[in-house]
Amino acid sequence: MVQPSVYSYENIIEAALEILREDGWRAVTTRAIAKKIGSSTMPIYSRVKSVDDLEKDVRIKAREVLKEFQRRPVTPDTLLNVAFGYVAFARDETNLFRYLYLERPEKLSSEDSSGMSETFVSDFGDDSEEKKALETLQRTGHDELVQYTWIFVHGLATLVTSGTYASISDESILRFLTNAGQAFHAWSTKDDSKDV
């Protein structure tokens, strides 16, 4: 080895994530990354094939941040924590949320369109408490409940990023979620509409 490289792949991805958090996806340019790590644009192209390629790993990093939010034990209910974390993430990391779910949503294959609620726990391992809790709910016939709840959760998170509920408190989020959950639960278990 003649000359050790100064700027690592990790440096580059971290810098890109920082810029994404602070100023959104359109600010993530090769020159901005270079400026952030204090180099020219060349080291980036030595480590990464293209910007499209770099984006994949930035997306993974962004999802890891979301997972941290969803893992926080805010309540004893694992799935409520996942939902709360989703909304809190939208509030506190608006640019990351907008990037993941609004501006640059991943194309999902048409096959898994039935299991949309799985996408909300897709970053948790197959043997994670979160995923097991969700599957238990679905196996016990509460599939619709899960579906409706996640539509609501996603709606709330999206409105948080749009400014409508921009500075919503933790308590308000929990109130929204528990109330909606209660409403859907009561509806899904009532007698006279078994087969709706």
Partner DNA sequence: TTGACAAAAAAACATGCGTTATATATAATA
Partner DNA sequence: TATTATATATAACGCATGTTTTTTTGTCAA
174 binds its own copies (CB under 8 A): no
194 binds, among DNA, its own copies, none (CB under 5 to 8 A by kind): none
Q: Would you say the C-alpha torsion 109, 115, 120, 124 has a positive or negative sign?
A: negative
Q: What is the DSSP string of 29-85?
A: -HHHHHHHHTS-SHHHHHH-S-HHHHHHHHHHHHHHHHHHHHHS-SSS-HHHHHHHH
b or e along 159-178 (b: 16 or more beta carbons within 10 Å of the residue's beta carbon)? ebbeeebeebeeeebbebbe
* Residue with Cβ nearer DNA (19 or 87): 19
* SS3 (DSSP) at 91: helix
Binding mask 28-47 for DNA (x = CB under 7 A): xxxxx-x---xxxxxx-xx-
Residue carrying structure tokens 């509920």: 165
Distance CA 113, CA 111 (A): 6
Q: Are 86 and 157 contacting, i.e. CB atoms less than 8 angstroms apart? A: yes
Interface with its own copies (CB under 8 A), residue from 51, 65, 102, 137: 102
108 binds its own copies (CB under 8 A): yes
Interface with its own copies (CB under 8 A), residue from 8, 46, 172, 179: 179
The nearest distance, CB 93 to DNA, in angstroms, is 21
Region near its own copies per CB under 8 A, out of 7-15, 54-62, 122-130, 181-189? 181-189
* Residue with Cβ nearer its own copies (11 or 94): 94
The nearest distance, CB 100 to DNA, in angstroms, is 18
Residue carrying structure tokens 């006279």: 192
Q: Are 149 and 181 contacting, i.e. CB atoms less than 8 angstroms apart? A: yes
Binding mask 150-169 for its own copies (x = CB under 8 A): -xxxxxx-xx--xxxxx---
DSSP state of 93: S
Interacting residues with its own copies (CB under 8 A): 101-103, 105, 107-108, 110, 113, 116, 119, 148, 151-156, 158-159, 162-166, 175-176, 179-180, 182-184, 186-188, 190, 196
Interacting residues with DNA (CB under 7 A): 1-7, 27-32, 34, 38-43, 45-46, 50-52
